[in-house]
Structure 1
């Protein structure tokens, strides 16, 4: 009987250690190696942007003569932060343009988990990239940008173009899943935003979740 109790106690100890280790991976994933964004990642990012333009019906294409929207040329980084607790034990909010790592790792988007602890180190490495990345010229030449509509605005002072802003996709370790924030600005107190989750299947990116997050 004592032997069984000892074995059971040992198993509880191992499980608790594994849980603590899992928690440390998320909360204290050090050391984080600063790495340069690779050509492969740049390619995937631009494929993701193309998929979002097509699948989310962003009316920014030059071929659409009635389009009154532009796509901002630079993708903006979503800063990945570790959870912080104040002196009273309350969880602090992330900074503007920020998200806690715990909001990705193990979190459910529409009841599905897309990122696990195995992705945590790689996600934090992406946090060392530049604050903005310019969309590929091959995409920009097909869409309205602030630069390309300057002449129209100059000739018609009453014309207004809404602006779509896309965040730099956050990729999973296997580069088969991406988290993106999409924002639309149509005036000082006009706009909306959403979270997009994309999955890569048969070499193509597909928007699998489109979660409305804010409106103004």
Structure 2
């Protein structure tokens, strides 16, 4: 007869909470990949970040991000309402609302946190059960092409983001898994495999 220490935990206990951090350098396609994953698996909970930056063309509040004022962001920090938060590119703050993530974990859902490197590092400490997946570009030239092709930043902002991307790529060894984002369907197939969907 097994002792309590030898008995394996049920598949959806808090110890086996299926929370996955998807991070990587700017313009690698984190948002596109996570959106496609959710299209294929609507049961996945993809956390919607809050941000103090202005919406880009086509972005919808509550879908792509929750767009908030600096005062609202401060209130979330003061009330421990964020699982992580960071100042990105010295321009705007981004954060992951805590309550929706905890609610999804309690329901036994697979949870995806699509966040930048600073946020991923915070989650490693604040939620150590999470698995960390680094989304990498096929090569540097392709990352540059994607960033410039977005057309959402000035030349100065692009240069700044590329400098940030170089530092972010150096953090690849901090992650549990690395997925190269070349062809989107293959990338999503790999995420499905890693998350056990």
TM-score above 0.5, yes or no: no
Give TM-score, length-normalised by structure 1.
0.25
Work out which of the two has the higher radius of gyration on C-alpha atoms and give 1 or 2.
1
**Larger strand proportion of the pair:** 1
Q: Which structure's relative contact order is higher, taking Cα pairs within 8 Å and 6+ residues apart? A: 2
**Larger helix proportion of the pair:** 2
Give TM-score, length-normalised by structure 2.
0.26
